[in-house]
Structure 1
Amino acid sequence: MNANNGIISQISRYAVTETIDRFAAILQAKGITVFARIDQQAEAEKVGLSLPPTQLLLFGNPKAGTSLMVAEPTIALDLPLKVLAWEATDGKVWLSYNDPNYLKQRFSLSDELVKNIAIIAPLIYQALSSADRQ
């Protein structure tokens, strides 16, 4: 796991599409809304550009996010939550997301409020584990 500028990146043993598929399935099983999935490689190809496999997933739970936005409206710039699966030049696939502690500091969130977004780490761990999806 790497942390840089408030971004946590974890290695994935799966291809970009499967990494996002696995994470999205976990979200669905937990009743967490997937708002959008953007295949940035496909979008680049549409305009004649090349990009390694890169997909962005936007997701969240309005019950959790609303209280954050009431406390600090500008956190809506970082909500809904996002994960980015991307393939590096060495062929390794990474899953990156905003560190909840970074968001806590950036928006002066209370410990109680940051719990609403800290759930991301165990969900990512579950998606990247070699065990079957649950």
Structure 2
Amino acid sequence: MRRAAVLAGIAALALGGCDQQWSTPPEEEAATSETGGDVEASGSEVATFGNGVKTVASDAGVEETVKRLEAALEEGGFTVVAKLDHASNAASVELDMLPAVSIFFGKPKVGTHLMRAAPSAALDLPQRMAIYQDAEGVTQVSYNSPVWLASRHGIEQQDDRIETISGALETLAMTAAGRDAAVTQKEDSE
């Protein structure tokens, strides 16, 4: 009986937080309110949404886009931690879904500083990119904005590192999407 009460309490807490609204960094919030929900980044083809998700359309299918991202990650010295094929996982339980793959990756030399500044950042690290086919058949590459993540976790005094990570993620996404010839990455200082 006590166990049921504890489980009911946990469920109530979990459901009570379902309408939680996450804060948006001021620069994204201002741009989002001007465009009604999404932002086209200046000088690039990366859309940013009020929920912190950045997305770029690929010129290839999911499989080719994944191969490009994996090559760019290897070239950039990133460690791939996991690769999940969501469509295959769905098929294993007899469900259909459009192609979708998530790749988790990082550099401990960079991510560790963020988690030291805010241990809750471990919820969103290592970095990840989702490559998926949308309802219109277009392959998309999506990832979380590091500025949004810093705001979400209250990471302070890491502006240069966040800027470097932002540039690296945009370059990786653009390369995977066939929008950039090569990955260029600034090395982060310790």
Alignment of 1:6-25 (within 5 A): 6-25=52-71
What amino acid is the match of 1:31?
A: G
What amino acid is the match of 2:161?
A: L
- C-alpha distance in structure 2 between counterparts of 1:93 and 1:131, whole Å: 16
* Structure possessing the higher radius of gyration over alpha carbons: 2
- CA deviation profile, 1:27-86 (whole Å, cap 9, x unmatched): 101111011110000000000000000000000001111111111100000000000011
Aligned-residue offset at 1:87: 0.6
Task: Report if aligned partners of 2:62, 2:133 keep a CA contact under 8 Å in 1.
Answer: yes
- C-alpha distance in structure 2 between counterparts of 1:129 and 1:44, whole Å: 28
What amino acid is the match of 1:3?
A: T
- Hey, what does 1:114 align to over in structure 2? 162
Task: Report if aligned partners of 1:52, 1:86 keep a CA contact under 8 Å in 2.
Answer: yes
Aligned-residue offset at 1:9: 1.0
Corresponding position: 1:124 with 2:169: no
Aligned-residue offset at 1:133: 5.6
Which ranges in structure 2 are unaligned for 5 or more consecutive residues?
1-45, 184-190
Q: TM-score, with normalisation over the residues of structure 2?
A: 0.66
Corresponding position: 1:30 with 2:86: no
Q: Could you tell me the percent identity over the aligned residues?
A: 33
- CA deviation profile, 1:63-117 (whole Å, cap 9, x unmatched): 1111111111000000000000111111011000001111121122230331353
Q: TM-score, with normalisation over the residues of structure 1?
A: 0.91
Relative contact order, CA 8 A, sep 6+: which one is greater? 1
RMSD, aligned α-carbons: 1.7
- C-alpha distance in structure 1 between counterparts of 2:181 and 2:123, whole Å: 34
Local SS of the residue matching 2:113: helix
Aligned-residue offset at 1:129: 2.7
- C-alpha distance in structure 2 between counterparts of 1:53 and 1:133, whole Å: 25
How many residues are paired up? 134
